[in-house]
Amino acid sequence: MDRRQVIRSTLASLVAARTAIGGDADGAGAGEPFPPGFLWGAATAAYQVEGAWRQDGRGESVWDRFAHTPGKIKNGDNGDVACDSYHRFGDDIALLRQLNLKSYRYSIAWPRIQPVGRGPANAKGLDYYQRLTDAVLQAGMRPLATLYHWDLPQPLEDAGGWPNRDTAERFADYAGIVARALGDRIGHWCILNEPKTFTSAGYWQGTHAPGRTEPLAFLRATHTVNLAQGSAFRVLKAANPKLQAGSAFDVAPMFAATASYADLAAAERWHKFQNLWFVYPALRGHYPEGVLPADRQADLLDWHAGDEKIMRAPLDFIGLNYYSPWLVSDAPQGNGIPGLNTRGQWAKAPGVTPKTDIGWDIYPSGFHDIVLRMAYETGNLPIEITENGAACNIGPDARGAVHDAPRVAYLQSHLRELARAIRDGAPVRAYYCWSLMDNFEWAEGYSQRFGVVYVDFAHGQQRTIKDSGRWYATVAADNRVLPA
Ligand code: FCB
């Protein structure tokens, strides 16, 4: 690219970001049908729902260790029992059917397959996921399996964790075992869930397992994860060339805090670092330009010659998780990440927006904006919305009914924005609500309820479809979003 082209593309990106700020949601997408064959689903993750943490040879994960460490999780909660889905997955699948859903996104727990993160497969662990998958298929649903939703085997963390390059090879071995056992019946795979979140919360901010606060280790973790993603992609394809593989990336539109050039530039840097850091390595074989100085790649990331080939993977689709936007301002003092041009700070978005019970901003038009932006960034790869939803902690009334109107409003407004994004050209083919049911919400324990199905954790795990579940079932049946 010559200098003029560079300037033109930078300006185009900045204009795209500015235009996004003015997104107008009024009346958009109301009642519009989704494309024929659009897939409606719901999502869960192994550690958040399975329980049975020591059953049938399952090993310890970083989340078991973290949750069993006093002070890490709200109310001292842990995932030892969770929703007991290890024993009740038949009930979960019956609920999915009652909700008229055609796809279930669930994850496979690495420590059930390789209890110490390496070595031969644990037959009982594989058997569980075979039974679960067969039940999903028998119910007429499409499985979407996530290979890694954050449960790293603890012995691999003891050996250095994600900052250790060897973890990428361990992950490829694990992926191979799973792909050979399940690749014949699971046609759609998410390799990683939210690589940005598990590396930054786990190794930089320390709020998630394994709870480390080491900025350099965090950067190296991001690179190992990119190597792991590319390797696992090839391993999956080797097991079955027909299967489709992508990852679930958590994305957020980055709005500049002011119209100053410094803040706009900071928002663009942050878009690259947060939204593209695990996308470009796969699709283009390099990190987004302008963040990582070329002469620091080796020492900051532990980059080896040839890594560009390992991390490159022509993903078949891209999964997007959207909850909230960010507001970015320039931070001349830096933000503690060594060596990178990520100068900038991000904060909860427009203070004026309402929030869900977990404190996340509700900003539906941001959904439209980031879906379009990611369609552009990925050259219009098929998109599946792998997560979207709201924490709303309303419990049952005296009759046992759960009237969670704020969740209905959240889902409705976001789906209307998704319809608008599709109308504007985004190739979205699926939507998964987070979550099928209330579950273990990481550092928040059981205090935050994201389910369209209520789970009574204290009394026998009873499941009750909430008003939002009933409403979502009509969306799935009609393939359109009608007023609540
Ligand atoms: C996402 C996670 C998912 C869930 C939702 C609320 O970051 O991928 O497991 O906890 O947030």
Q: What is the 3-state secondary structure (H, E, C) of 85-147?
A: HHHHHHHHHHHHHHCCCCEEEEECCHHHHCCCCCCCCCHHHHHHHHHHHHHHHHCCCEEEEEE
194 is catalytic: yes
Q: Residue 111 class from Cβ within 10 Å (0-12 exposed, 13-18 middle, 19+ buried)?
A: buried
Q: Is the CB of 197 under 6 A from ligand 1?
A: yes
Q: What is the DSSP letter of 56?
A: G
Hunting for tokens 């393939």 — which residue is that? 479
Cβ-contact 143, 104 below 8 angstroms? yes
Length of the chain: 484
- Determine which residue's CA is closest to atom 2 belonging to ligand 1: 194
Report the interhelical angle of 85-98 vs 123-138 (nearest 10°): 10
Q: Is the CB of 417 under 6 A from ligand 1?
A: no
Catalytic residue among 50, 157, 194, 377: 194
CA gap 377, 233 in Å, rounded:
20
Residue-level pLDDT, tens digit, the chain, 484 residues: 433 333 333 333 433 433 333 333 445 556 879 999 999 999 999 999 999 999 999 999 999 999 999 999 999 999 999 999 999 999 999 999 999 999 999 999 999 999 999 999 999 999 999 999 999 999 999 999 999 999 999 999 999 999 999 999 999 999 999 999 999 999 999 999 999 999 999 999 999 999 999 999 999 999 999 999 999 999 999 999 999 999 999 999 999 999 999 999 999 999 999 999 999 999 999 999 989 988 999 999 999 999 999 999 999 999 999 999 999 999 888 778 888 887 777 776 555 679 999 999 999 999 999 999 999 999 999 999 999 999 999 999 999 999 999 999 999 999 999 999 999 999 999 999 999 999 999 999 999 999 999 999 999 999 999 999 999 999 999 999 987 6
The CATH classification of domain 3-478, taken from the options 3.30.420.40, 3.30.2400.10, 3.40.50.450, 3.20.20.80: 3.20.20.80
What pTM did the predictor assign? 0.94
CA gap 55, 124 in Å, rounded:
9
Catalytic residue among 157, 268, 387, 441: 387
Nearest to 23 by CA among 428, 481, 417, 419: 417
